[in-house]
Structure 1
Amino acid sequence: MLEKVTHNFEKTVIVGIVTQQQNEDKLNEYLDELEFLTFTAGGEVVKRFSQKMDKPNPKTFVGTGKIEDINTYIKENEVSTVIFDDELTPAQQKNITKILDCKVLDRTNLILDIFAQRAETSYARTQVELAQCQYLLPRLSGMWTHLERQRGGIGMRGPGETEIETDRRIVRDRIALLKDKIKTIDKQMSIQRSNRGAMVRVALVGYTNVGKSTLMNAIGKSDVFVENKLFATLDTTVRKVVIKNLPFLLSDTVGFIRKLPTQLVESFKSTLDEVREADLLLHVVDISHADFEDHIASVNQILQDIKSSDKPTIMVFNKIDSFKHLTIAEDDLITEKTTKHYTLEEWKNTWMSKVGEKHALFISAKKKENFEEFREKVYEAVREIHITRFPYNKFLYPDYKDAIEKEDE
């Protein structure tokens, strides 16, 4: 749980459901993440609501009794925003807004809003606006009067606050215009990538807030923005890095997240092209996070979706300085030992041992723990790729005769 704050944060409640596919523990994990997302967007979660259901209510997502409980609470406590953990259908959003008479968002809308806050460059802003327009298009009929009434704050950034009066035709035209603009920029970025030559490309991938940008700064001696919030950086940063006279290109990509909106995957295609075109992936994992195995699965799924799951990959388990485990007293015969009680060494002996020494690293990017080992492993992996591309490279084979002998072998 986040510490409560009192300064200029929107009072918010969050809502989720327990289903056959999502038990109570899993829901609590998602709501923890939703609370962090809300905090990142500028909100303060004052209450959580949950309900056990076979499937979401098609009209109001939760049952009528629960929606009345939520309505009573927000009226008594002057709550301005209600956020649902799953994506609402246009009909659900319209019905819930009528009942609650306040700002109603879902997880997708919240993530899009954070992206709107974080977009710094014209390209990132264009990508985010396209995703927002695609999300808003089927929801136009019931949203504009609601948006007109609730100006500013979470979920109101981007096209929502400037295009309240628009109709579907204008939004469709805007989508077409944004797609054309992105196509033009994509071509420019593709040319830029091709102009980098045949240098080995390494991409940092991973869940949001796992320390990719901190690692980027440590390796590349760059100055990428770092903050303990979700999606601190959106724009891909590419730096030339040299380890032992061996140069390669290192890119820091946008962080992934569970239930990543499909609109964002589509509009951030060019950003994800950095991953698609990489020769080597450094999959960064926050091992101090209780749900890091779920995070790995989410990232692997997205890599599979963008056809990049078969690339050479080094697993980089970061934040070992923050890793904590629950201890069990020696005379405690009741408490069942779970993964929450594993030490770092015990974790290394689980499925991680199958990853192999060559493809798994345990570091702290912030404190540079095990950093020399990290640099050495990355150097070896890049060198392996480099040799196939430049068999007579003077840095790898100073003596030309040695190169010939290598070729003969």
Structure 2
Amino acid sequence: MIFLPKNNFYKKVIVMLLFCCGKTIAQDVDQNRIISDKLKWSERMALSIIKRYPEAWKIDKHEVPKWDYKIGMILTAYQKLYGKTNDPKYYDYVKGYADVFIDETGVIKKFDPKNHSLDNINAGKILFDLYVKTKQEKYLTAIKILRSNFDDYPRTQSGGFWHKKIYPNQMWLDGLYMGEPFYARYTAEFEGGEKLNDVAHQFELLHKHTFDRKTDLYFHAWDESKQMAWANKETGTAPHIWLRALGWYGMALVDALDYFPKDHPKRNELIGYLNELAAAIAKYQHKSGLWYQIPNLQNQKGNYLESSGSSMLVYFLAKGVHNGYLPAKFEKVANKGFNGLIKKVITADENGEIHMVQVCGSAGLGGNPYRDGSFEYYMNEKIVTDNSHGLGAFLLAAIELDK
């Protein structure tokens, strides 16, 4: 029993101290508690991430806050999880990240509109639902700032968004996920869908220029100028097909399609691309359920089963079936993939915290030091544990399959 003094000032001070201490103790207990293996995989992973990183901006061991596309993907999954569970800690985790960056006027800290990069758009997807729930104008202002970035965004002569300002004339499959679902949602909700043709055009360009008829898969990127050392001098394509790029492409399609009305003339075209990709990747699925870092060169020495791209493929297949874009048979492919993830790349420690191994840390083209897109390059990129590319994609897959 606690006896409070009669003096109101001291009474308030003691109550405040008790509240603060109680909150700290609660947090400490939460940090030390064992995560139950009876929970669904989505919550086990979500709680594991929160346990390691109580503040979302610290994911991937960031020492200072960064407006980050990978964290954006993870928090998109937390919003989906909140929608399923109504557990406020998932909502608070997302809002906490947004509020680190967005001030009361809606300005996004550490975001420079002139530094055009599709990567900078992706985290903005979390702002739509935050605005719907809170009605705080700062979120809407931030959304509009990101939308306006497309107005003067550099494009190829054929109308495709450069992946980044620092990569002139280049379109990467990665960029479709970073920009198009946000662009599609904004134009659907605030512009009457007037830019959906532009959204579809980005997919059309990469389908036209990166689709490989020998494998039915897609090369990682395309340089319209054909000037980059990595680019094929006849086609402008990157030298290889990269698993995670296929994952970005599939996720971009299935997420952007959420905002295409059934009567939109481009909708069936995009669904066709999705079916084409699903049929192709099913052929390259390893018996374990996973896919290789370079999926069409399974037997080449050094190639390995990669977990982030595999998770992305599971997500887009499952969502594609659930939304009626893909035939039901692809759910079997998704389930086989998810079971492979659980058996091969997901581990649990003594506290029930789960981890993901065999994640390609990062991969790209050009830059400094120069990335030549060779097979050796993709094999020599670091293979890491608990990288956010993998964690976010696994969360999305686990939520979609409700395992």
- TM-score, L = length of structure 1: 0.30
- Which of structures 1 and 2 has the bigger CA Rg? 1
Structure with a larger share of its residues in strand? 1
Structure with a larger share of its residues in helix? 2
Q: Which has the higher contact order (CA 8 A, sep 6+)?
A: 2
